[in-house]
Structure 1
Amino acid sequence: MKPATLHRIAIWSVLLLFAAFFLVPLYVMVATSLKDMAQVRGGSLLDLPNGLDFSAWRKAWSEACTGTDCGGLKPFFFNSILMVVPAVLISTALGAVNGYVFAKWRFKGSELMFGLMLFGAFMPLQVVLLPMSQVLGWFNLADSIWGLVIVHVLVGLATTTLFFRNYYVALPDELIRAAMLDGAGFWRIFWRIVLPLSTPILVVTLIWQFTAIWNDFLFGVVFSAGDAKPVTVGLNNMANTSSSVKEYNVDMAAAMIAALPTLAIYVLAGKYFVRGLTAGAVKG
């Protein structure tokens, strides 16, 4: 056998090993969610389910108890949708404009301002909990979905600005100068020239923000209460609700329901995410 063939076999073997390592927990979750409790108690984690039993999924969606409320994950799931959609769109739009300014319309002190803004991308999130709580309280937005939207927009603004700024730096300055000579202003250049060229980084930012906001637990548990809790908080409450019999199949089904949106995003748009990450990597 040729050395090149052996090398390829070795690479594929290692990749398949790592893929199996990361996929086994997902398999266990899906398989357990499709089993009844008799098979869960009497079998192995790796056993295939005896059949496609979706009763645990139905219970996790609309019947399981999260504390004293036994309405399942359904209300929490829709709370997350109401929170994620505006937060992702607003933070992405503001990041695009900020990145456009810092890359193509630099002003005195812009580099310092951009550097200071980057602190937000690397600052521990726990630092903002107390001041953010005070600000939300002043505006009567505490324990509300719109309060969570504002928190995620502000926290994500540094990252989205960084993404767009690094991407726009790689765009030729001649495009901007030519448009300015033709009489185009700030917003016309942005809408007509820059934004149509931004599809790769738009996809990256939308996926990044959607995943980060949907999976967030810290802000959800601190800044939400009552009917405004996101799905991660509902999942935590469901898993910690004590009952006479611990239904692991329901817990696994609930975890899968909470993870399905992000899994779907990466399955459907994963290749565009990778392309977008590398599109602006030449300059920065």
Structure 2
Amino acid sequence: MSRIVRYGLALIFLLLVLMPLYVLIVTSFKAGSDIGVASQWNLPENWTTASWAKAWTSLQPSFVRTFQLAIPVAVISSVIGAANGFVLSRWRFPGADVVFTLILFGMFIPYQAVMIPLREIVTTIGIPPGIPTLVFVHCVYGIPICTLIFRNYYATTVPEELVEAAWVDGAGLLRTFARIILPISAPAFVVTVIWQFTSAWNDYLFAIFLSSTRNGPITIALNALAGAQSPDYAASMAGALITSLPTLLVYVLLGRWFIGGLMAGSVKG
């Protein structure tokens, strides 16, 4: 009986989650005359992909730019986090715990609190507006979480004897990191790459402050598509699905390693 109740509750929650997705998908294939509050649950009377074509035409330039943002952010911040995590887990220099605490402090600074000074900083530094600015900002803000994940992974999973053996063989800190540590860091890299890719891809707050529809990512273009004076709901729904596809694919392709990567740094191996 208890199993039936659990399965019943799980089915109810699944339906609640899938209901908005159903409306999103069927609306994206409807013509304008089919869209309305009363008919939102109905299947399209005439299936059409015109809204998908319109959404893609509007989003395509920013779609490419968002890849130019998310991929460098995921790679750069993960590599920096790996280097920080290795040093902070294996090189116990004076003040290491203080440095680690200060790095983690960056995780708790609200974006809204630093938005105006951050814009002044990137303007003073002279970073080109748009994607280059967003790459810089997301890499900086991604360092704390990447450092935490890699530090925990190296401290709990990588055997200390492995590092000591490399040092006995004459490998220095950088060579040990490049030749020994990086090749066995795939689980942690999966976690940080997924985290940083989705964070950069879905970001709107940084994008709206530090870029525009002409040089910004897809979230700004999607907002412009959906926020017109006379919004095209079918095109907006299609645009939302197009925008979500890359992050969905990332989770589908790498998701089975994501939980394993998180758990790898949670317990002593």
Q: Is the structural similarity TM-score above 0.5?
A: yes
* Aligned partner (choices 137, 145, 150) of residue 151 of structure 1: 137
State yes or no: 1:20 paired with 2:15.
yes
**Is the contact between residue 70 and residue 198 of structure 2 (CA under 8 Å) also seen in structure 1?**
no
Q: Contact 2:204–2:219 (CA<8 Å) still a contact in 1?
A: yes
> Match for 1:250 among 217, 235, 238?
235
Instruction: Tell me how far 1:242 sits from its aligned partner.
Output: 1.0
C-alpha root-mean-square deviation of aligned residues, in Å?
1.7
Runs of 5+ in structure 2 lacking a partner? none
Q: Show the 5 A alignment for 1:36-115.
A: 36-41=31-36, 44-50=39-45, 52-62=47-57, 72-115=58-101
Amino acid at match of 1:12: Y
SS at match of 2:214: helix
2:200 alignment partner in structure 1: 213
SS in 1 for 2:178: helix
CA distance in 1, matches of 2:102, 2:37: 57
Query: Unmatched 5+ residue regions in structure 1?
Result: 1-5, 63-71
Whichever residue aligns with residue 26 of structure 1, its letter is: L
- What aligned pairs does 1:167-178 form with structure 2 within 5 A after superposition? 167-170=153-156, 171-178=158-165
In 2, distance between residues paired with 1:264 and 1:35? 25
Aligned letter for 1:41?
Answer: G
Aligned-residue offset at 1:188:
2.0
Q: Which residue of 2 aligns with 1:277?
A: 262
2:28 aligned with 1:33, yes or no?
yes
- 1:13 to partner: Cα distance: 2.3
Which has the larger displacement, 210-219 or 9-18? Answer: 9-18
Q: Distance in 1 between matches of 2:170 and 2:239?
A: 56
Rounded Cα–Cα distance in structure 2 between residues aligned with 1:202 and 1:117: 19
| Other-structure match for 1:68 | none
Deviations, residues 42-65 of structure 1 (Å, cap 9, x unaligned): 852222234542111001111xxx
Conserved 8 A contact 2:226-2:232 = no
Of the candidates 183, 196, 201, which is equivalent to residue 196 of structure 1? 183
- Partner residue, 1:69: none
State whether residues 31 and 46 of structure 2, in contact with CA within 8 Å, keep that contact through their aligned partners in structure 1: no
Secondary structure, in 3 states, of the residue corresponding to 1:41? coil
Of stretches 189-198 and 171-180 in structure 1, the one that deviates more from structure 2 is 189-198
1:160 matched residue in structure 2: 146
> CA deviation digits over 1:179-201, x for unaligned, max 9?
11111111221122211221111
Are the equivalent residues in 1 in contact too, given 2:213–2:220 (CA < 8 A)?
A: no
In structure 2, the residue matched to 1:8 is 3
Moved over 6 A (4+): none
SS of the equivalent of 1:107 reads: coil
CA offset digits 1:68-115 (Å, max 9, x no partner): xxxx11111111111111111111110111111111122110110000
In the TM superposition, residue 255 of structure 1 has moved relative to its aligned partner by 0.9
Work out the percentage of aligned pairs sharing the same amino acid.
Answer: 43
Q: How many residues align?
A: 268
Contact conserved, 1:83 with 1:148, CA < 8 A, in 2? yes
